[in-house]
Amino acid sequence: MYFVANWKMNPPTLAEAERLLKQVKAQLRIVRDGAEANIVICPPSIFFSKIAKSNNLIKFGVQNINWEERGSFTGETSILMAKDFGAEYCLVGHSERKIYFGENSLLANKKIKLCLEKGLTPIYCIGETLEEKQRGQTRKIIQEQLKVGLKDIGWMGMKHIIIAYEPIWAIGTQNGAGAANPDNVLEISILIRKILFDIYDQKTARKTIVLYGGSVTPKNVISYLQNNSSNGFLIGSASLNASDFVSIIKKSTIQKNVS
């Protein structure tokens, strides 16, 4: 299972980021014995050189890259910089990039291709807005994001891509109150695999890692595992609390072993 922590624009200081990472590592050493967990932390890029030292417990990813590997793009992070500091993963198309910076599936496609070319694993975020959901457009939106975002990427490339279903309306709500219904997540997971089957083949659809992201907490995580709706989670707010983040991992791995 995959557990991807997206710290977003947090914490505000390097000292707090170092403290959070230290707490996560300390608690993970207790949990990880025998647990099959792939743990990825995506900190702010400005902290990367200080805290992102991959080991057998944790791998690291960047929250975004530019679609070009080099050039005059003020404020951007290049994939060459990310790799030089040890990044192994990259979030692509996160909903907040869509909302605040106008990014779309065409741009995501460029970033995914660049990640594959340079050896980073892209975590491609897809999902609908509340308005699109209310209009009954979820299926159409998911289909467009997958077909455009994965355009001209062959089945070999898909072996190195993670899909994260992240409904925009479910992100950032307090205490997981706005999280998607588990049955809805299962329905979308099945839809994603059906679309991948149509684009590629049955094996690719079955093997692709599909995560859920959107107000995941220790309280609701088990509900997403009981129906096998996802292969793990993209975790936002809860990843900023070491106990909550590790609790999600612990509960998930225990549930996985039971089932």
The per-residue pLDDT for range 184-206, each reduced to its tens digit, is: 999 999 999 999 999 999 999 99
Q: Is the pLDDT of residue 255 over 70?
A: no
Query: Distance between CA 91 and CA 173 in Å, rounded?
Result: 20
pLDDT over 70 percentage in the chain:
93
Q: What is the DSSP letter of 69?
A: S
pLDDT given for residue 121 in this prediction:
98
Annotation marks residue 160 as catalytic: no
Spatial CA neighbour of 211 closest among 219, 203, 221, 202? 221
Residue with tokens 């030089």: 84
pLDDT given for residue 142 in this prediction:
97
pLDDT given for residue 32 in this prediction:
55
User: Catalytic: which of 36, 94, 128, 132?
Assistant: 94
138-149 helix and 182-199 helix, angle to the nearest 10 degrees: 40
pTM of the predicted protein model: 0.94
User: Catalytic: which of 96, 131, 166, 187?
Assistant: 166
Annotation marks residue 166 as catalytic: yes
pLDDT given for residue 63 in this prediction:
97
pLDDT given for residue 34 in this prediction:
44
SS3 210: strand
